[in-house]
């Protein structure tokens, strides 16, 4: 029987095998991709959630595009639209959005609003609806397009539902990608373990003849798997942090800070700390199960 106090002696030289020095970098690359997908999905999902949380389904916006010549907030077209809106019982308030307010609304998404001052922006009308009085949006749109064919009526509820669907799609896609990356890590560990078992077959046979149990042999491989994946996890975190900081800064530099506003959060930082341990422990379990299953098949 192999004594338990020999744990500091590596009976199976798995760490010295050819190509093993590249394995932490492979795991690190997969962990890096995992962290980037998680951070981006969390940030974009958080942005969509904020938009949905500030939603007011009793609001509506009417847009009069600039392709209509001479459109301004004081133009006859806008005044005709306002006249129709003020005569509809289901509309509590209709207010023309002036140019400065429109630019302030665009500032969080565009950033450098000075570039927009030279553009001919559409005329917008902000509307509050009476929830107790139903309003047929289709009929209203037809009435307004008799004044100008390019007028658009956008109920906020439609946009909010689109944001909810988009957020769910991003979340589902991120889960699929994260699951694929995690499975890839486990497949790599399983294949490397099987290859190492084959390489050290003679040494394992000698240890088993001396009384070593399958669990003892599995322990040698699972310890090496833990060390390798932990090194890879640290490498992935080391490169992921500056990339995420760069994306957050670069989005602000481009004037679209809302996209990656929530990229650096306490939850993400906790994930960065815990992920190397989680991946290492799960990989250790995968390695152990692979060894036990392979040895059990050899005993048949």
Structure tokens at 215: 């669990």
Q: Would residue 183 count as lying in a domain? A: yes
Predicted confidence (pLDDT) at residue 54 exceeds the cutoff of 70 = no
Task: Please give the tally of structural domains in the chain.
Answer: 2
Within this chain, do residues 49 and 91 fall inside the same structural domain, yes or no? no
- The enclosing domain of 114 has a CATH number of 3.30.70
| 62-118 confidence digits (pLDDT tens) | 878 754 444 455 577 787 888 888 777 877 787 777 666 665 555 555 555 555 555
29/74 same-domain check: no
Which residues, listed in sequence order, are joined to residue 123 by a DSSP beta bridge? 64
Contacts of 251 (CB under 8 A, 6+ apart): 257, 259, 260
pLDDT tens, residue by residue, 34-53: 998 888 887 777 666 666 55
Residue 279 lies in a domain: yes
Domain that holds residue 224: 14-53+175-295
Same domain membership, residue 287 and residue 203: yes
Boundary residue ending a domain (116, 150, 184): 150
- Residues 45, 94: one domain? no
For residue 40, being part of any structural domain is answered with yes
Q: Token pair of 273, please?
A: 């700390």
> Looking at the structure, do residues 133 and 72 belong to the same domain, yes or no?
yes
Does residue 56 carry a pLDDT above 60?
no
Residue 168 lies in a domain: no
Q: What pLDDT sits at residue 67?
A: 43
Do both 38 and 182 map to the same domain? yes
Give residue 4's pLDDT: 43
253 is a domain residue: yes
Sign (positive or negative) of CA dihedral 29, 242, 268, 41? negative
pLDDT score of 282: 92
Q: Is residue 167 part of a domain?
A: no
CA–CA distance, 166 with 32 (Å, rounded to integer): 25
Mean pLDDT, range 126-152, rounded to an integer: 79
What is the crossing angle of helices 156-199 and 266-299, to 10°?
40
Q: Is there a domain that residue 286 lies in?
A: yes
> At which of 134, 150, 166 does a domain end?
150
Q: Is 8 exposed, middle or buried (0-12, 13-18, 19+ CB in 10 A)?
A: exposed
Of 8 and 106, the structure prediction assigns the larger pLDDT to 106
Least confident residue range of 133-147, 180-194, 218-232: 133-147
Q: Is 132 helix (H, G, I), strand (E, B) or coil?
A: coil
Residues 47 and 179 in one domain: yes
Q: Is the pLDDT of residue 8 over 60?
A: no
Q: Residue 165 CB: number of other CB atoms within 10 A?
A: 11
User: Are residues 287 and 180 both part of a single domain?
Assistant: yes
Q: In terms of domains, do 44 and 128 share one?
A: no
Please check whether residues 47 and 190 belong to one and the same domain. yes
pLDDT tens sequence across 224-281: 889 889 999 999 999 998 888 888 777 766 656 556 666 677 777 888 889 899 999 9
Residues 289 and 214 both lie in one domain: yes
Domain endpoint, select from 135, 150, 165: 150
Decide if 157 is inside a domain. no
Residue 281: its H or E element: helix 266-299
Residues 218 and 275 in one domain: yes
Task: Tell me the pLDDT band of 121, cut-offs 50, 70 and 90.
Answer: low
- 3-state SS string for 189-233: HHHHHHHHHHHCHHHHHHHHHCCCCHHHHHHHHHHHHHHHHHHHH
Distance CA 23, CA 47 (A): 36
Q: How confident is the model at residue 143 (pLDDT cuts 50, 70, 90)?
A: confident
| pLDDT at 164 exceeding the cut of 60 | yes
Mean of the per-residue pLDDT values of the chain: 76
More confident residue, 171 or 103: 171
**Least confident segment among 26-35, 59-68, 152-161, 171-180:** 59-68
d(CA 28, CA 34): 10
């Amino acid at each position: 029987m192999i004594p338990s106090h020999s744990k500091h002696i590596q009976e199976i030289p798995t760490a010295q095998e050819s190509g093993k020095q590249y394995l932490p970098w492979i795991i690190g690359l997969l962990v890096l991709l995992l962290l980037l997908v998680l951070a981006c999905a969390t940030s974009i999902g958080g942005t969509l959630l904020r938009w949905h949380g500030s939603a007011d389904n009793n609001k509506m916006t009417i847009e009069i595009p600039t392709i209509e010549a001479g459109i301004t907030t004081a133009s006859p077209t806008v005044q005709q639209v306002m006249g129709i809106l003020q005569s509809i019982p289901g509309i509590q308030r209709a207010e023309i959005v002036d140019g400065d307010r429109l630019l302030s609304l665009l500032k969080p998404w565009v950033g450098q609003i000075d570039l927009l001052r030279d553009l001919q922006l559409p005329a917008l009308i902000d509307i509050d609806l009476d929830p107790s009085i139903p309003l047929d949006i289709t009929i209203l749109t037809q009435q307004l397009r008799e004044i100008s064919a390019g007028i658009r009526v956008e109920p906020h509820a439609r946009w909010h539902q689109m944001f909810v669907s988009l957020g769910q799609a991003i979340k589902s896609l991120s889960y699929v990608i994260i699951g694929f990356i995690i499975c890839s890590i486990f497949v790599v560990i399983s294949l490397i373990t099987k290859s190492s078992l084959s390489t050290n077959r003679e040494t394992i046979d000698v240890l088993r003849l001396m009384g070593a149990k399958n669990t003892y042999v599995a322990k040698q491989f699972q310890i090496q798997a833990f060390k390798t994946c932990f090194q890879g996890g640290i490498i992935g975190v080391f490169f992921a942090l500056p990339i995420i900081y760069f994306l957050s800064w670069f989005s602000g530099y481009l004037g679209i800070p809302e996209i990656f506003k929530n990229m650096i959060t306490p939850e993400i930082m906790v994930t960065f700390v815990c992920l190397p341990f989680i991946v290492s422990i799960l990989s250790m379990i995968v390695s152990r199960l692979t060894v036990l299953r392979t040895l059990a098949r050899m005993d048949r």
